[in-house]
Amino acid sequence: MARNITPREKDYSQWYLDVIRAGELADYAPVRGCMVIRPNGYSLWEVIQRHFDEAFKDTGHVNAYFPLLIPSSFLEKEADHVEGFAPECAVVTHAGGEELEEPLVVRPTSETVIGHMYSKWVQSWRDLPILINQWCNVMRWEKRPRLFLRTSEFLWQEGHTAHAAKEEAVEETLRMLEVYREVMETRLALPVVTGEKSEAERFPGADNTYTCEAMMTDMKALQAGTSHFLGQNFAKAFDITFQNKDGEREYAWTTSWGVSTRLIGAIIMTHSDKDGLVIPPEVAPVKAVIMPISDDEKALSETFEPEAMELRDRLNALLGKRSVKVDTQYHMRPGDRFFYHLQRGVPLRIELGKKEYESQSVRLVRRDTGEKTDVSWDRAPETVRQLLESIQKNLYTRALEFRKANTHHVKSYEEFKNVLETRGGFITAHFAGTREDEKEIKSETTATIRCYPMNGQSRGTCFYTGKDDAPLAVFAKAY
Amino acid sequence: MARNITPREKDYSQWYLDVIRAGELADYAPVRGCMVIRPNGYSLWEVIQRHFDEAFKDTGHVNAYFPLLIPSSFLEKEADHVEGFAPECAVVTHAGGEELEEPLVVRPTSETVIGHMYSKWVQSWRDLPILINQWCNVMRWEKRPRLFLRTSEFLWQEGHTAHAAKEEAVEETLRMLEVYREVMETRLALPVVTGEKSEAERFPGADNTYTCEAMMTDMKALQAGTSHFLGQNFAKAFDITFQNKDGEREYAWTTSWGVSTRLIGAIIMTHSDKDGLVIPPEVAPVKAVIMPISDDEKALSETFEPEAMELRDRLNALLGKRSVKVDTQYHMRPGDRFFYHLQRGVPLRIELGKKEYESQSVRLVRRDTGEKTDVSWDRAPETVRQLLESIQKNLYTRALEFRKANTHHVKSYEEFKNVLETRGGFITAHFAGTREDEKEIKSETTATIRCYPMNGQSRGTCFYTGKDDAPLAVFAKAY
């Protein structure tokens, strides 16, 4: 156990912050609730971005950029939207040395200003669909900030699409939910339950909200991404209309969907351990680090290091530019050098010491299991590739099994409260209660409906109201 | 000449705006002075970003993210800095429903908040250098906005480095100037004059500012990127100190450097023509578009289009994913389809009509010259590659020759005014005047010193003061 990391079972929140600090992922900024994403955290975000961006482009989306500042009157055009977001807004009242005529809010999300622009761009059915995504910063003032999970400013992507037909917009909403699930599971190694949110948990202004819910190692749920079917609500508020094939004017149907730097929090709380950060190879900025180790400075510079550089180049040719680094922090003791990269979550350590050098081999040490493999220089690249695949698979499987082991089905409210108290985790239960029932359950237990799962065809008796033919819901305490 | 584009010689500003509108690059936003970067503009920015980002990483830099909002007191810590930027700031006074104790400015640039963080991160000489870059939005309130060139919000990168020794920081400043020049010339096909700014034109808070100056087709200069040696000014203001190898505390030496979405304006005003946008192939999001053309709908869908898709796949394998598109806007007339892509600046059009289909060939049409080449399907990929290279080279050479033809050397102030009035362009002249002399020249002629060129070893008699041994300066009217 690392001395600079609080044991998880002692204080989960402190463990989380210790992992971030030891991995140099982020810092609190001088402005309350805001964060600085340090290079180790940002490079992780860059890889996450790349995977999602590629998936968005593969499904026909293009990127654009809309303004940071939104006239406050825009927010007020959609009643639910302003109610949901106005209390969290940061407001610009002065600019260029003068007081503004109308205050401007720093975007908490961009449905309104994008709706305004779409109304100008869309005239005919031929202008639809519009499939635009934006990568940007947004601001939602936080009273209880937490690095990556809840900060006043965060980075995200927000997709905003407009369609001629309702079915197309619904299809898009579900397509992007599926894109999210796919990238989260295959790249971030985050198993997620996808499903529909209850009315109470919907995005302000949406007709339906779909979500990806992941289980953290403290068994709490984390909402990892959401996809919203906005119906014609924003089209009506911002007059996004088009002339259909019959020459009639119609309102468009819109969607929006987003994932954020919160995903870094999800990776930390899913994969990391008592020693600190663990990053799945598919999103690791540095997949492996090669360590020349010797007391003999001459041997280091003349034989070990050149050999390490040569291996690095061969590995990078296989795994991608800058995937593998050579550690040359020779002023540190080997153990400290190991620890340095271990706490930064590097999936694989490659040791090249005297013994290895003499046998023309390297020692590979897995971050996830600590398992060691000796392999010849010739076979090293292929073995490294295989081990990285194996680590990726192991992290996903471990997380999935953890979720399965900590998901329980209940049939009564007594059982619900008992399981939540004694075992925690996800609780599946048939539920046909009202919004008020849900509120009641939340206030008594702090658990909320995370979603009605997509594949939940199962119907049964409501655990709370006793009503028949209730759909299946997943409940949990959540971040 | 395109009917939707005002002739350049009639009204250059309107021509510029027409090119942007016809290419769907950007729109004004509902907030005064702000812009929306539309997908065609943003995808161009993405390619520009990729080239610079790669060059930054190749020179050892990493990306990070610092907060959008900066306490207003931070700006005041560096006297020149606050004087330069405070009048342009947008100010957040309220957040989360309450008035803030201290107003926060939306970052106009991030030296201050980054200086604050570096002072926490740097303890010992071993923590240096810090080589960090940030891609983000910044805000400088503009009274006379102009799309891409001067908007209240724009996107940019800002590099911020800290070093233990002055020489290292100077070296970094010049290294990044050279990185800028290289990317601008080889990728954006923008020939630039690199050099040092005069004292009057320095970044507020810098000891020296270096710049890349490009000549637009109206012969005005555009500052395309700057690199600043900040001395110890920000280190002193924010207490960035380190323990040196002798155990003594010293102030660090810092640099900053930036390029912005203004570069899109530079591309437009360097390469575009009477028909609209021209994009150099190296930064073109779409390098070529294939056009199946036929009146026969069955032939289109069953033979022409599949052949076009097949060629697209072969071209993309050679040029990169999504580099080549197939145009299927069959509801439009061929001429309108040509025009559509021409106004979006696509470097190469590939026509596949009946005649071409029968001879198993395609017709390649260059955007820069209109020149046509017929080539067999087999040889098409290699010919496309060669033509793209040739277009890239031609655009650069054309721009360089234009600059050379419009750069004049003068020896007296009379000659200076005469050349500026009758011929315009860049004026080189030996100059040893004071800051006041420079101001005088500007107020009389509107021309400013763009830079003292880097390779300007030439010394001579000052054209303005008659002093001996004056360095060479480049003067021009500028954006």
We report the CATH number of the domain holding residue B143 as: 3.30.930.10
pLDDT at residue B79, rounded to an integer:
85
As a whole number of angstroms, the distance between CA B11 and CA A303 comes to 66
Contact A62 B69 (CB under 8 A): no
Burial class (CB in 10 A: 0-12, 13-18, 19+), A443: exposed
Listed as own residue / partner, the contacts of B247-250 with beta carbons closer than 8 Å and 24 or more positions apart are B250/B164
Instruction: Specify the pairing of strand B130-139 against strand B153-163.
Output: antiparallel
Joined together, the tokens standing for residue A29 give: 């900024």
As a whole number of angstroms, the distance between CA B101 and CA B96 comes to 12
Does A281 map to a domain?
A: no
Chain A residues whose beta carbon lies within 8 Å of the beta carbon of residue B137: 68, 136-137
**B323-364 pLDDT, tens digit each:** 999 999 999 999 999 999 999 999 999 999 999 999 999 999
Same domain, B153 and B215: yes
Tell me if B254 sits within 8 A of B163, measured CB to CB. yes
Chain A residue with minimum CA distance to B135: A136
End of a domain among A271, A294, A311?
A271
Contact A153 B87 (CB under 8 A): no
The structure's pTM equals: 0.97
Chain A residues whose beta carbon lies within 8 Å of the beta carbon of residue B32: none
Nearest beta carbon to residue B31 from set A93, A97, A104: A104
Tell me if B266 sits within 8 A of B190, measured CB to CB. yes
pLDDT at residue B239, rounded to an integer:
97
Joined together, the tokens standing for residue A293 give: 């180790």
Does A221 map to a domain?
A: yes
Joined together, the tokens standing for residue A463 give: 């655990």
Tell me if B477 sits within 8 A of B446, measured CB to CB. yes
Q: The domain that contains B335 carries what CATH number?
A: 3.40.50.800
Same domain, A37 and A185: yes
As a whole number of angstroms, the distance between CA A29 and CA B3 comes to 52
Does B401 map to a domain?
A: no
pLDDT at residue A457, rounded to an integer:
78
As a whole number of angstroms, the distance between CA B343 and CA B422 comes to 32
Name the region of A148 (left: φ>0; alpha: ψ -120 to 50; beta: rest): left
Phi then psi dihedrals of residue A330, to 5 deg: -70, -15
Number of domains in chain A: 3
Mutate to test the interface with B, among A73, A92, A93 (most CBs of B within 10 A): A92
Helices (H), A320-424: 334-342, 354-358, 380-405, 413-422
CA distance A290 to chain B (A): 18
End of a domain among A228, A246, A271?
A271
Same domain, A306 and A422: no
The count of other CB atoms within 10 Å of the CB of residue B373 is: 16
Contact B64 A89 (CB under 8 A): no
Contact A113 B87 (CB under 8 A): no
pLDDT at residue A1, rounded to an integer:
60
Chain B residues whose beta carbon lies within 8 Å of the beta carbon of residue A141: 95-97
Tell me if B213 sits within 8 A of B222, measured CB to CB. yes
Contact B31 A70 (CB under 8 A): yes
Contact B92 A90 (CB under 8 A): yes
DSSP track, A95-131: ETTEEEEEEEEEPS--HHHHHHHHHHH--BGGG--EE
Joined together, the tokens standing for residue B93 give: 């006074």
Q: The domain that contains B419 carries what CATH number?
A: 3.30.110.30
Size of interface A-B (CB pairs under 8 A): 163
Same domain, A129 and A254: yes
Same domain, B325 and B232: no
Nearest beta carbon to residue B91 from set A39, A64, A94: A94
Nearest beta carbon to residue B116 from set A30, A64, A95: A30
Same domain, A264 and A370: no
Chain B residues whose beta carbon lies within 8 Å of the beta carbon of residue A34: 67-69
Does A394 map to a domain?
A: no
Does B458 map to a domain?
A: yes
CA distance B45 to chain A (A): 10
- Each residue's pLDDT, cut to its tens digit, for chain A (479 residues) gives 678 999 999 999 999 999 999 999 999 999 989 999 999 999 999 999 999 999 999 999 999 999 999 999 999 998 888 888 989 999 999 999 999 999 999 999 999 999 999 999 999 999 999 999 999 999 999 989 999 999 999 999 999 999 999 999 999 999 999 999 999 999 999 999 999 999 999 999 999 999 999 999 999 999 999 999 999 999 999 999 999 999 999 999 999 999 999 999 999 999 999 999 999 999 999 999 999 999 999 999 999 999 999 999 999 999 999 999 999 999 999 999 999 999 999 999 999 999 999 999 999 999 999 999 999 999 999 999 999 999 999 999 999 999 999 999 999 999 999 999 999 999 999 999 999 999 999 999 999 999 999 976 789 999 999 999 999 999 999 99
Same domain, A240 and A307: no
Measured on CA atoms in the order A411, A416, A418, A424, is the torsion positive or negative?
Answer: positive
Same domain, A435 and A380: no
Chain B residue with minimum CA distance to A40: B64
Same domain, A28 and A158: yes
End of a domain among B271, B297, B320?
B271
CA distance A142 to chain B (A): 7
CA distance A82 to chain B (A): 13
Does A391 map to a domain?
A: no
3-class SS at A432? coil
Contact A67 B29 (CB under 8 A): yes
Q: Give the domain extent around B311.
A: 286-387
3-class SS at B93? strand
